[in-house]
A and B are shown apart, each in its own frame.
Chain A
Amino acid sequence: MGKMIRTLALSAAIAAVSGVSVRCAAAEDAPYPTKPIKFIIPYAPGGGTDAVAAAFSDKLAQKLGQPIIKENHAGSNSVIGTALLAESKPDGYTLLVVTGAIANNPFLYSKLPYQTEAFVPVSILTSYPFVLGVRSKLPFKNIQELIDYAKANPGKLTAGTSGRGAGAQLALGLLNKSAGIKIRDIPFKGAGESLSNVAGGFIDMVFSGYETVRPFVQSGKMKAFAHTGTEPLGREQIPAIAQTVPGFEYQNWLALIAPAGTPVAITEKLNGALTEIFAQQDVKDKLAAQNITPIASTSAAAKDYLLKEMATSKSIIESIGLKPE
């Protein structure tokens, strides 16, 4: 019995144990990586970020020959997890998988415990638009009808967003602003809860990832007739909001980020491995099924992307009247 428990628990602790043995075996000057790499996921376990991270982390671990351990540290629109990254050593063994929220936070929180610009982005991983899931009892068939109704009845429609500074809130603010309407923002703790509130008919719509809206559309609880990208989306060919509201675009994205001062050799190595992984057909297919575009950029391009996104976020946040607290 005791031996059985041991064997079983051993298998449970594979990651940690193998970490120890490798640490002993590795020589001092062996090339990076010589021990397990930790991915901080700044969201609750089981979310969309986890799913994307899972799509490439196993392959990355194989390529690098070291296990990748994921740790979820949720809270404050990813600030908690990001702060943990900032405290970590810049040795490439602690990395952060983060959404576009990281570019919003500097303009939402007056006292961030880190400097966003100082981080070293390894690569932008993916980018994807939000789908607008609308309560199926509402009579609208397309975004134009929805906008017309909202214009005639300001403040009557409600949209669930996943908390202050999350992408969904910015997308909503941007829609309100560019279409000249007022849909009220009802904050929730995460996308899951706001989705079920739309399905239950308590709120009217929600901006969320394609994969999370799809089951509700299939069961007839929601309609999906618009998304925040620029091209028709997926097998259903969901039209873009930009077709009705010219210039409207909001893309959410994921990036892999390292602490400030991480050596170029390390980011290059990670970057090279990621580029190879994202070129593989099965990874492409997996992400394409979720309508997610894999990107895998160079570190320098990722930095540019981050800075550009920060500028975009700043202007959206200012234009929708959110102030840092």
Chain B
Amino acid sequence: MNFFSNLEIGFATALSLNNLSFCFVGVLVGTAIGILPGLGPLATIAMLLPLTYSLEPVTGLIMIAGIYYGAQYGGSTTAILVNLPGESSSIVSCLDGYQMARNGRAGAALAIAALGSFFAGTVATILIAAFSPALAEVAFLFGPVEYFAMMVLGLTAATLLAHGSFIKGVAMVLTGLILGLVGADVNSGTYRFTFGSFSLTEGIEFVAVAMGLFAFTDILTNIRGDTAREVEAPTFSNLWMTGREARQAAFPVMRGTAIGSLLGLLPGGGAMISSFASYAIEKRLSKTPEEFGHGAIAGLAGPESANNAGAQTSFIPMLTLGIPSNGVMALMIGALMVHNIAPGPYVMVSNPEIFWGLIASMWIGNAMLVVLNLPLIPLWVRLIQVHYWILFPIILTVCCVGLYSISNRVLPIYFAAGFTLVGCLFWRMRAEAAPLLLGFILGPLMEEHFRRALLLSDGDMAIFYQSPLSISMLGIAAAMCLVVLLPQIRRGRSAAFTEET
């Protein structure tokens, strides 16, 4: 098969007026729901899916895909502007993106996120087009053992995210892992830590935890200092990134793209792990790691590109193998099945216009996102420059309605209130909340793979170091811990009893 003739089929399909307009609708709806907290792409797509049944299969898929990456994009905007990770993939964007916004660089942060994502999307699309069939096999290299090792590696990277003390980061990850276990156990169906409440059987709502720990806690700790936010007249320099900022972002974007493209292939959180793997790497490589957590450009550019690249390449296992790497991909498989197209290696041969049309539309959609969003940056920047007393009630109410809309219940609002109090406690104790959130998402997956691995090996722990992939990932994780701990230990020996900060 010829690469260029394939792309030609793809662009011919994607550039038809009908498909272009549905791509635009998807991207627009996606951006909107990404920006609004609460309603995520999964819920929206599930809601809209029946509407796509009446469309041509390729048109329906193009629209769904547009919603998916549009939402990733919109999610970063909220993360940067109001410190609210609406999607698990934008937790990392909160860390430095929000700090940049607070330093008056919101415009630059948004521009970097937009252009970084576009670059990552472009590269990932080319990768999908060129190497789909070959890359698809990567997913088959990952069994329970390898996944467990990947989660350990991911969580180790997560503790390095915290700019506070390492050991508190570990404690926060563990706390998150525990909270993530609430609900029905996969293997036995036993309800754990639900305290008799049926509403908890599916676990604690992620968005409620994220809002409580991030957005609401942030409001509380900012209210008193709200005179500090002066309304500045937006000038060109604070709307757009400077040449220096662009140069600082360039390499992190490329590295992030590479990491995201690779990890996105893995079902079960690969795309998300890529964003914090990228953060950890950038922090490690940086000459000024102390800037991380205080608005480091690399700390935003890398993860943003990684998560967008990962979101794109997660289409590969879905299209080529029929393996959904996340909920949205499962929905796309559902949409294909409705049209009697079984996802798998044969789609490429039997329905080339679907396969290549979708791929071409992804690039077009990413381009639309940039065109759509760059002009909006001045608007967003002005939005957060309004008085804080106007902004925070808006955040509160919109979040509350968003929480209600998840399942048309008020329970998530009560949970968010509870986690606000917990978040205040963590703020007081100087414990970073991001590692907790990552542990919260990975907790159930990690347990599942751990138990499955031991079930397969009949209780033999050796299984974890027999697989070369697993042992190398665990080795990297151990090395990362050592790199962090050694200087502390050495310092502790030579200059015991000196204040460490």
Contact = CB atoms under 8 A, between A and B. Distances in A.
B and A form one assembly? yes
Contact of A12 (B51, B201, B333, B334): B51
A15 B54 CA distance: 14
A80 B202 contact: yes
Nearest to B137: A200
A9 B344 contact: no
Contacts of A69: 50
A113 B198 contact: yes
A161 to B, nearest CB: 10
Range, interface on chain B:
35 or more
Given A44-B327, A215-B321, A75 B184 contact: yes
B262 to A, nearest CB: 17
A35 interface: no
A8 B458 CA distance: 55
B330 A47 contact: yes
B202 A75 contact: yes
A46 B189 contact: no
A200 B141 contact: yes
B143 interface: yes
B187 A187 contact: yes
B334 A50 contact: yes
Contact of B140 (A11, A201, A286): A201
Nearest to A48: B337
A57 to B, nearest CB: 8
B345 A219 contact: yes
B33 to A, nearest CB: 10
A12 B198 CA distance: 32
Given A76-B184, A192-B323, A325 B25 contact: no
B334 A51 contact: yes
Contact of A289 (B50, B324, B334, B340): B340
A192 B50 CA distance: 22
Contacts of B441: none
Contacts of A192: 323-324, 330
Contacts of A197: 143-144
Given A8-B25, A70-B50, A218 B346 contact: yes
B28 A47 contact: no
Interface string A281-325: 000001001000000000000000000000000000000000001
A184 B459 CA distance: 14
Interface string A46-63: 111011001101100000
B269 to A, nearest CB: 12
B481 interface: no
Contacts of B141: 200
A151 interface: no
Contacts of A72: 46
B478 interface: no
A163 interface: yes
Nearest to A77: B189
B188 interface: yes
21 contacts: A5-B32, A9-B29, A11-B25, A12-B44, A45-B42, A45-B46, A48-B337, A54-B53, A55-B338, A58-B54, A75-B184, A165-B189, A186-B455, A187-B186, A197-B144, A199-B140, A200-B143, A215-B322, A215-B343, A218-B345, A325-B189
Chain A to chain B: the 7 pairs with minimum beta-carbon distance, closest first: A215-B344, A46-B334, A202-B143, A46-B330, A200-B140, A164-B189, A46-B331
